[in-house]
Amino acid sequence: MTLTTNQDLDPVRLRQAFGFFPSGVVAVAAEVDGVVTGLAASSFTSLSLDPPLVSINLAAASKTWPDLRRAKSLGLTVLAEQHADVCRQLSGPVEQRFDGVPFTVADDEAVTLDEGVASFVCTLEREVEAGDHVLVVLRLHGFDHAEDEGGSAPLVFHRSGFTRLTRSGHPRYKESARTAIPIDPVLADRWSPRSFDPTYVIPDDTVTSLLEAARWAPSGSNHQPRRFVVTERGTEAFDRLASTLSGRNRLWAPRASLLVLAVRVDHDPDGTPYWHADYDTGQAIAHLQIQAHALGLVSRQMGGFDAARAAELFGLADPYVPRTVTAVGRSGRLEDLDEATIQREREPRDRLPLDELLLQEEG
């Protein structure tokens, strides 16, 4: 990479370059004239411990900030990994920004979201004009944060999209896919480990996000001949599904946060076969796995389970046929696996070359 001065600093390309720096996202909110008002900001920075100061950077053209700055106090909430939709909502129509969002209004008008990673109460210290933005310096008067180390991670904004942190204690130990030409990172970096963090609990909103991805997968004639049984670790249903696993799957899969049973629907109510049911079911699980990776989670499909036993345990009869079980959770430590599984995990990622996949050459 070669840098030169006196470049034509095209705003579009410059915004893309700025996007390579990841940042957290905060909700800035208060009750102003009896109305809860707020916005999302991805430029929150701690400035000083003595006095306790933080800053946010807002567009000078913001129509919300002139109202917020009149509040007695402001609430700042560090958004959690499950808050991607909340963040989008906070950037939408003003009158809908807090619809369905749990929040608390303090006596001093500060508003904080109930499920954030951390929250602060502050007052306006000063404003500094900075080009097309305003640097807002805030003085802190109170704060709170999650005590559970295994709780939700913060939402991260990176390259115009949302992602999440991967804890250093749960490292990635597989390389990205080696491709002839680059493909999207969400595809190149997706992997299927057998090591899961046995303490991690997937937030309900994240589970819903995974299922929405599966729901919106392509489907032949939109018949959608697929269903799912979703079980969470620590429940009796999870233990039932785990009991159907075969071989070495029983050693590692119960550490996952979720076990998802994918179920094929063989025919419609009139008995007409869904010939593409397996294909549709696979599409749905593939979309669930891609969404999991996009959210910083990992997943692994398993065909090694007793399908007949699973059908019996969950009361599934014709036209429902169990096909696969998928483990979903946060990546765990390789050394927590048994030695035989560790060796399998260390095998390099590989796929058939493209020329072996193509059955007919062009021309």
pLDDT value for 242: 98
pTM here is 0.61
Tokens (6 digits) for 117: 């990673």
Q: Which residues lie below 8 Å from residue 16, measured CB to CB, with a gap of 6+?
A: 159
> How far is Cα of residue 216 from the mean position of the Cα atoms in its chain?
17
What span, in angstroms and rounded, lies between the C-alpha atoms of 151 and 263?
Answer: 31
Concatenating the DSSP letter of every residue in 88-127 gives HHHTS-GGGTTTT--EEE-TTSBEEETT-SEEEEEEEEEE
pLDDT value for 296: 84
Find out whether the peptide bond into 203 is cis, omega within 30 degrees of 0. no
pLDDT value for 168: 44
pLDDT value for 169: 42
φ, ψ for residue 5 (rounded to 5)?
A: -90, 170
For domain 176-348, the CATH superfamily is NADH Oxidase (3.40.109.10)
pLDDT value for 162: 75
Distances (CA, A) of 338 to 170, 171, 252, 305: 17, 17, 9, 20
Residues 272 and 168: beta-carbon distance below 8 Å = no
Tokens (6 digits) for 339: 């030695």
Name the residue with tokens 């699980």: 285
Average pLDDT for runs of 10 along the chain of length 363: 68 82 92 94 92 94 94 94 88 92 92 92 95 94 76 78 60 77 86 92 92 96 97 98 96 97 97 96 97 91 98 98 97 90 89 90 61
**Domain spans in the chain, listed from the N-terminal domain onward:** 18-145, 176-348
Q: Check if CATH label 2.30.110.10 holds for domain 18-145.
A: yes
SS3 content of the chain, % helix, strand, coil (to 5): 25, 30, 40
What span, in angstroms and rounded, lies between the C-alpha atoms of 316 and 314?
Answer: 6
φ, ψ for residue 167 (rounded to 5)?
A: -65, 140
Q: Sort residue 56 into left (φ over 0), alpha (ψ -120 to 50) or beta.
A: beta
Per DSSP, the three-state class of 307 is helix
Beta sheet of 226-232, edge-to-edge order:
226-232, 258-265, 320-329, 298-302
Among 152, 144, 149, 150, residue whose Cα is nearest residue 205: 152
pLDDT value for 12: 82
